[in-house]
């Protein structure tokens, strides 16, 4: 890796990082003072040690450098993106969390298969301003290796807090990552976020119309940088681990003159690499992509291609009508040619479900806020009972029917699922996902095994304004028949 600033090095630090340098990056982040007057942009990573991942995490407003300007954003530990957390299956996780925002918040561990109750992945917790809470949970021994993330999930404030910047990666590194070809690849993490800022670098408030569509900002950043250059040290194989941490913006990714080899959907490896020319990443989703550095030396733009996610009459708009450069990847070709992995996982299709349910996604009216986004005609909070009750250790098919005019990426907390069909056509790709796009007019059937953890959680649209405006339901996983 060449031409990287110290900050980039900390952000992009890879397998080869020396312990001393890593400590230096962590020390740098720990030493940041909790004041909004100081510009800080460093991002760090925390790794588990002797089976424990322990850190202090503080949510607060901070000044950060975005490209050539300063912005006042909501951060964890003053950083955009938030520190990258890395743990192994079986590890204990202890996060000493402090809320120094001026509004309540909490933490959701998106995609992790961990307890849904207590001080774990419990979205019903509410941490008021000034309050501290220690999150503590164990990552199961048999947890898949993969790309997960953490962000706030307090209903009504989720979009605003994500759009403020609160998001970070949570990487699980287990045995299924010990694939020689992957270990030989150069690993880079790309956290995609967008912000709406005024001329003073303050966060602009969103108009009601844009909340209906889901808010998007004109400033797009990759790892907190505007159009960064990613310099690769030598020709070979590049592994891009991409997170869409935007509250609403879709990213239709492509790399000039290169194909992607898609190796993981959300938090799980595919069985083998799948060659694609582009990849659509909706809010909440992650993708792991290999790129062969086999073209001539040069600069290749990572692009966000146009995508129309629908709209409501006059409010509708296509988000962008021409490609946008997200980052530029630079490499010098060499004689070195690294092989692609051939086998990455051994996913088998789930057995037939015990139950089938239907969920219709659309919008309607809520007397108190106007337009509400709904699941089966109900908006979140319109009643105080459980929307969906399932039994632990059963498998269900959920038919997700989008009868509205906008696309909705659907996320289920706690348990990954397989997509069975779209509009009645079998899904060709056998994969685990935790967030799936249901395009307007589309019916997507997913199959979910409810495993290991009973308790109350949620499912919702991951266009987070839609979630905040009601497109969420409560899921109760019962551990014995009632």
Among residues 153, 408, 422, 433, the one that binds Cu ion under rule CB under 5 A: 408
Is residue 309 close enough to count as binding Cu ion by CB under 5 A? no
Stretch that binds Cu ion, among 60-68, 75-83, 388-396, 405-413 (CB under 5 A): 405-413
Least distance from C-beta 475 to Cu ion, angstroms? 17
- Residue showing tokens 């659509």: 280
> Quick check: 460 and 156 in contact, CB under 8 A?
no
Least distance from C-beta 461 to Cu ion, angstroms? 3
> Quick check: 450 and 392 in contact, CB under 8 A?
yes
Q: Which is nearer to Cu ion, 241 or 413 (CB)?
A: 413
Q: Which helix (H) or strand (E) holds 189?
A: strand 186-195
Stretch that binds Cu ion, among 238-246, 298-306, 325-333, 406-414 (CB under 5 A): 406-414
> Quick check: 105 and 69 in contact, CB under 8 A?
no
Stretch that binds Cu ion, among 119-127, 183-191, 290-298, 400-408 (CB under 5 A): 400-408
Which backbone phi and psi does 457 adopt, to 5 degrees? -150, -160
DSSP per-residue string spanning 89-123: TT-EEEEEEEEESSS-B--EEET--S-SSTTSS-T
Least distance from C-beta 254 to Cu ion, angstroms? 24
**Counting beta carbons within 10 angstroms of the beta carbon of residue 402, is it exposed (0 to 12), middle (13 to 18) or buried (19 or more)?**
buried
Least distance from C-beta 286 to Cu ion, angstroms? 19
> Quick check: 377 and 252 in contact, CB under 8 A?
no
Least distance from C-beta 388 to Cu ion, angstroms? 18
Q: Which is nearer to Cu ion, 248 or 418 (CB)?
A: 248
Nearest to 45 by CA among 5, 12, 4, 74: 12
CA distance 122 to 169: 18
Q: Which is nearer to Cu ion, 179 or 463 (CB)?
A: 463
Least distance from C-beta 258 to Cu ion, angstroms? 31
Q: Which is nearer to Cu ion, 458 or 463 (CB)?
A: 463
Contacts of residue 149, Cβ cutoff 8 Å, sequence gap at least 6: 109, 110, 111, 167, 168, 169, 170, 243, 245, 286
Q: Which is nearer to Cu ion, 286 or 408 (CB)?
A: 408
- In the window 454-473, what residues touch Cu ion (CB under 5 A)? 461, 463, 466
Least distance from C-beta 409 to Cu ion, angstroms? 7
Q: Which is nearer to Cu ion, 291 or 461 (CB)?
A: 461
Q: Which is nearer to Cu ion, 46 or 373 (CB)?
A: 373
Q: Which residues bind Cu ion (CB under 5 A)?
A: 408, 461, 463, 466
């Amino acid at each position: 890796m060449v031409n990287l600033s110290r900050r980039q090095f900390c952000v992009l630090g890879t397998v080869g990082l020396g312990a001393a340098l890593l400590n230096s990056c962590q020390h740098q982040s720990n030493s940041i003072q909790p004041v909004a007057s100081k510009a800080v942009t460093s991002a760090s990573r925390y790794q588990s040690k002797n089976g424990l991942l322990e850190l202090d995490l503080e949510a607060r407003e901070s000044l950060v450098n975005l490209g050539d300007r300063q912005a006042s954003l909501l951060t964890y530990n003053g950083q955009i993106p938030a520190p990258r957390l890395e743990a192994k299956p079986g590890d204990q996780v202890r996060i000493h969390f402090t809320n120094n925002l001026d509004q309540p918040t909490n933490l959701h561990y998106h995609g992790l298969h961990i307890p849904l109750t207590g001080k774990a992945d419990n979205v019903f917790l509410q941490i008021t301003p000034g309050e501290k809470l220690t999150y503590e949970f164990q990552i199961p021994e048999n947890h898949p290796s993969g790309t997960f993330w953490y962000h706030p999930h307090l209903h009504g404030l989720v979009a605003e807090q994500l759009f403020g910047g609160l998001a970070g990666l949570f990487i699980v590194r287990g045995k299924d990552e010990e694939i020689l070809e992957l270990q030989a690849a150069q690993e880079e993490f790309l956290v995609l976020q967008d912000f709406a800022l005024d001329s003073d670098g303050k966060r602009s408030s969103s108009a009601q119309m844009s909340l209906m569509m889901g808010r998007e900002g004109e400033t797009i950043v990759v790892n907190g940088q505007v159009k960064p250059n990613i310099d690769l040290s030598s020709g070979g194989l590049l592994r891009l681990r991409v997170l869409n941490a935007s509250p609403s913006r879709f990213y239709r990714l492509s790399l000039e003159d290169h194909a992607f080899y898609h190796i993981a959907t959300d938090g799980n490896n595919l069985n083998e690499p799948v060659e694609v020319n582009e990849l659509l990443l909706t809010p909440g989703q992650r993708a792991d992509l290999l790129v062969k550095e086999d073209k001539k030396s040069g600069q290749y733009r990572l692009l966000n291609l146009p995508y129309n996610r629908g709209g409501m009459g006059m409010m509708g708009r296509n988000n962008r009508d021409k490609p946008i450069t997200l980052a530029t990847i630079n490499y010098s070709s060499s004689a070195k040619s690294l092989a692609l992995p051939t086998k990455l996982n051994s996913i088998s299709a789930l057995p037939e479900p015990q139950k089938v349910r239907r969920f219709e996604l659309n919008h309607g009216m809520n007397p108190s806020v106007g337009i509400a986004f709904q699941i089966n005609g109900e908006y979140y909070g319109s009643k105080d009972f459980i929307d969906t009750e399932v039994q632990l250790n059963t498998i269900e098919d959920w038919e997700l029917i989008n009868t509205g005019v906008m696309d909705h990426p659907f996320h289920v907390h706690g348990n990954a699922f397989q997509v069975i069909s779209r509009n009645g056509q079998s899904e060709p790709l056998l994969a685990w996902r935790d967030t799936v796009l249901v395009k307007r007019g589309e019916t997507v059937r997913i199959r979910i095994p409810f495993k290991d953890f009973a308790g109350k959680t949620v499912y919702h649209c991951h266009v987070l304004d839609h979630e905040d405006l009601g497109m969420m339901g409560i899921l109760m996983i019962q551990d014995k028949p009632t």
